[in-house]
Amino acid sequence: MAGGDIAVLGAGAFGTALAIVLAEAGRAVTLWGRDVDAMAELAAMRENRRHLPGARLPAALAVTADPALVRAATILLAVPTQGLRGLLAGQPELAGRRLVACCKGVERGTGLLPTEVIADVLPGTPTAVLTGPSFAADIAAGKPTALTLATATPGGETLQALLSTPALRLYLGPDPLGAQLGGALKNVVAIAAGIAIGAGLGDSARAALMTRGFAEMGRFAAARGGRAETLFGLSGFGDLVLTCTSAQSRNLRHGLAIGGGQPVDRAVTVEGVMTAHAVVETAGTLDLPVTRTVSAILNGELSVPEATEALMSRPLKREDGD
- For the annotated catalytic residues, the residue numbers are 186
* Adjacent-strand bridge partners of 8: 31, 76
* Adjacent-strand bridge partners of 62: 30
272, 251 Cβ separation under 8 angstroms = yes
Give me the helix-helix angle, 176-198 and 114-121, nearest 10°. 130
Sign of CA dihedral 64, 67, 69, 70: positive
The closest of 311, 152, 284, 302 to 219, measured between CA atoms, is 284
182, 217 Cβ separation under 8 angstroms = yes
In whole angstroms, give the CA distance from residue 20 to residue 13: 11
Secondary structure element (H or E) that encloses residue 182, with its range: helix 176-198
In whole angstroms, give the CA distance from residue 93 to residue 107: 22
Strand pairing of 127-131 and 145-150? antiparallel
Q: Phi and psi (nearest 5°) for 170?
A: -110, 135
Half-sphere exposure of 204 (CA within 13 A, CB side): 1
In whole angstroms, give the CA distance from residue 106 to residue 282: 10
Q: What is the DSSP letter of 321?
A: G
The closest of 123, 37, 27 to 76, measured between CA atoms, is 27
Query: What single-letter amino acid sits at 222?
Result: A
Rg value, the chain, Cα: 19
